[in-house]
Structure 1
Amino acid sequence: MKKLLNTVYVTTEGAAVKKDGENLVVEIDGAERMRVPLHRLQSIVTFGAILLTPPLIQACATAGITIVLLDRAGRFQARIEGPVSGNVLLRRAQYARADDAHEIVRGFVCGKIANQRAVLQRALRDHGADMETTARAATEDTVDRLARALRRAALAPIETDELRGLEGDAARLYFAVFGGLIRSPDPEIGFAGRSRRPPLDPVNALLSFLYTLLVHDCRSALEGVGLDPAVGFLHRDRPGRPSLALDLMEELRPVLADRLALSLVNRRQLRIRDFDLRDGGAVWLGDEGRKTVLTAWTERKKEERRHPFLDEVAPLGLVPHLQAQLLARHLRGDLDAYPPWLWK
């Protein structure tokens, strides 16, 4: 469990969340693990099978404290709130900014480019000596070009559509050298460029699966704070598409998904036998491969990092929720700008 941004996150299944006087109390196996005054809370987020007592639910509803229920995988299930809610005002602010969100888009794009560059720098630092000479030189050149793109995204007086184009150009640069980071003993596990519908090689199949997991987490985080996941800023609206969840995912996927994909392949936790080749050239993860990825994904989300803006340590699995809260605070006017999450 963790208290961040006036929100208590309860992640241990079987925990009991109760009211004791004017305090929230979290117990595990009958032992008290956390006590927080209710007046200091804005929301409670639970993951999986967590007991919430009726007196606590009633007290939270009365005090305007939102309770968000997620399943053990982090998918949104329900939100419990009293009759007075700020969600309508938050969503009005979101809709009003949808067509004029230049600085929010700038934050998403800068976060994504900075984190893509960090992934390449980490690979060079850890395995640069083992890379082929041409692959190493291309990666070093891409790191420099991404640095220039980041400076332009952060500082240049460019329009929103130019930022979108810059994001696309940076992604092409990044994925052009991504294959050089793969060190699998299986020659079939290669990467010649991003392919999506369908994925045409094992690495693309792995990336697509991880991105699906991440976008679900981002959607849950946005719904948990009361934002509409369908109305985005960087991604244009499209029926059935969670555009804002895709926005939020952009800055997170180089670290949460791409790094995990490289680790699974390079550490030989996934081999070519874990993938299925389908008709038409499509490649998908097999049953055992999915189990391996889901286990690694769960463990990855438990790893802790210091949040660069909050200056507090938090599990990676909570980062989408923290970023959703920071975005909501910016839209409400509590923060001057949206601070992207940067990996260091």
Structure 2
Amino acid sequence: MQLLNTLYVTLPDAWLRLDNDTLRIEVERETRLRVPLHHLTAVVCFGHVGLSAPLMHRLADEGIALVLLDSNGRFKARLEGAVSGNVLLRQAQFARGADAAFTLDMARSFVAGKIKNTRQVLQRGAREAKSEAEAAVLTRRADDLAASLRALPEAAALDAVRGVEGEAARQYFSGLPLLVRADLREHFTMDGRTRRPPRDRFNALLSFLYAMWMNDCRSALEAAGLDPQVGFLHALRPGRAALALDLMEEFRPWADRLALTLINRGQVQADDFDLREGGGVALQGDARKAVVVAYQERKKDEITHPLLAQSLPLGLVPLVQARLLARALRDDTMPYLPFVPK
């Protein structure tokens, strides 16, 4: 199993071209980087990045996904070659998607994983809080998430599961700003989760990190032979990678943790954001590059997988979870277990 080697291009006005078996990045006709194609599984471009037609053809031939995002990380397009994977597995996936009971169980699993991991974020914050009052607030929010977990088995319909998830998210995001250093909260406050566009710096950073996790989850599902469009928790819509969104839920807290680290260590600062007319907030170019580097480094962190009982890089976990998901679709006796490290 190989780590998802993704090239993120954040340089404004960069031009990507094919140079024999190498991808070359130019800015104003000056070569900035060369990457051998055999090192890549995906190329993700933020904002105004140009690509040559020969390069796009070669990426498709090599099975290297090309993903285009806007400067905020919002999905715009994806170029892929011929569809590969196990057609029998996809057939099983489609059949499971039509099974109401199985769909409900899967939705509960994805939400349970997300709530357990977000609860760990708040519990850790409570232990490290500088004041007893803030520790008490964070502990209450963690207790609220525990109550959501207890309510989850009683959710007898998809809308009920989504309602539990929504309430848990509201409680979580009301406590998350307390994990920001007190002297930085003036600039990194948030009033709940906002997107399209993000309305504050914290949300802008989260949106950018979520976009990268989303791409890795989608690539992992495709590597496992699954169709990322056919999910269980998220409603099916044309052009929506519902299963990738499902899988991503348990990884959102990892993005949140990295966002807090970047803010609290001063690696991302208040003046790294553009405050736009209409209230939208966007991460600037140089800061985007720093966040991408930090994200790639975080993916190298060794994590003990609770089911496999072995250490592996965090960046491999989406691939492991995608394979566990494929196993659950094939075998009624092997339910899907979300990634919840101890």
Per-residue deviation at 1:136? 2.8
Q: Which residue of 2 aligns with 1:263?
A: 261
Contact between 2:229 and 2:244, CA under 8 Å: does it hold in 1?
Answer: yes
1:263-304 alpha-carbon deviations (Å, 9 max, x no partner): 000111111111111111111000111011001000000001
Q: Which residue of 1 aligns with 2:301?
A: 303
Q: Which residue of 2 aligns with 1:9?
A: 2
Opposite residue 305 of structure 1, the aligned amino acid is I
Q: Distance in 1 between matches of 2:203 and 2:196?
A: 10
Q: Which residue of 1 aligns with 2:289?
A: 291
Q: Distance in 2 between matches of 1:322 and 1:78?
A: 23
Contact between 1:76 and 1:220, CA under 8 Å: does it hold in 2?
Answer: no
For 1:138, what is the secondary structure of its paired residue?
helix
Alignment of 1:188-203 (within 5 A): 188-203=187-202
Superposition CA RMSD, Å: 2.6
Q: Which residue of 1 aligns with 2:319?
A: 321
Change (3 A) 1:49 1:172: same
Q: Distance in 2 between matches of 1:78 and 1:215?
A: 20
Does the alignment pair 1:49 with 2:49? no
Worse-matched range after superposition: 245-254 or 92-101: 92-101
Per-residue deviation at 1:262? 0.6
1:294-332 alpha-carbon deviations (Å, 9 max, x no partner): 010000000011111111211110111111110001111
Structure of greater Rg? 1
Per-residue deviation at 1:80? 9.3
Contact between 1:131 and 1:180, CA under 8 Å: does it hold in 2?
Answer: no
Aligned residues: 278
Per-residue deviation at 1:334? 7.0
Alignment of 1:157-306 (within 5 A): 158-183=156-181, 185-186=183-184, 187-255=186-254, 257-306=255-304
For 1:310, what is the secondary structure of its paired residue?
coil
Q: Distance in 2 between matches of 1:310 and 1:335?
A: 17
Q: Distance in 1 between matches of 2:252 and 2:299?
A: 13
Q: Distance in 1 between matches of 2:105 and 2:287?
A: 40
Opposite residue 205 of structure 1, the aligned amino acid is A
Opposite residue 195 of structure 2, the aligned amino acid is R
Q: Which residue of 2 aligns with 1:26?
A: none
Give the TM-score, by structure 1 length: 0.74
Contact between 1:76 and 1:223, CA under 8 Å: does it hold in 2?
Answer: no
Q: Which residue of 2 aligns with 1:114?
A: 116
Percent identity over the alignment is 49
* Structure 1 stretches of at least 4 aligned residues deviating more than 4 Å after TM superposition: 10-13, 68-73, 75-81
Contact between 1:184 and 1:268, CA under 8 Å: does it hold in 2?
Answer: no
For 2:289, what is the secondary structure of its paired residue?
helix
Worse-matched range after superposition: 136-145 or 243-252: 136-145
Does the alignment pair 1:156 with 2:154? yes
Give the TM-score, by structure 2 length: 0.75
Opposite residue 93 of structure 1, the aligned amino acid is A
1:191-232 alpha-carbon deviations (Å, 9 max, x no partner): 121110110110000000001001000110111111111111
Contact between 1:329 and 1:335, CA under 8 Å: does it hold in 2?
Answer: no
Change (3 A) 1:294 1:237: same
Alignment of 1:66-81 (within 5 A): none
For 2:257, what is the secondary structure of its paired residue?
helix
Per-residue deviation at 1:12? 8.2
Per-residue deviation at 1:76? 9.0
Q: Which residue of 1 aligns with 2:126?
A: 124
Does the alignment pair 1:141 with 2:140? yes
Q: Which residue of 2 aligns with 1:57?
A: none
Per-residue deviation at 1:137? 2.3
1:228-285 alpha-carbon deviations (Å, 9 max, x no partner): 1111100001111111100000011112x00000100011111111111111111100
Change (3 A) 1:98 1:188: same
Change (3 A) 1:207 1:320: same
Change (3 A) 1:264 1:286: same
For 1:284, what is the secondary structure of its paired residue?
strand
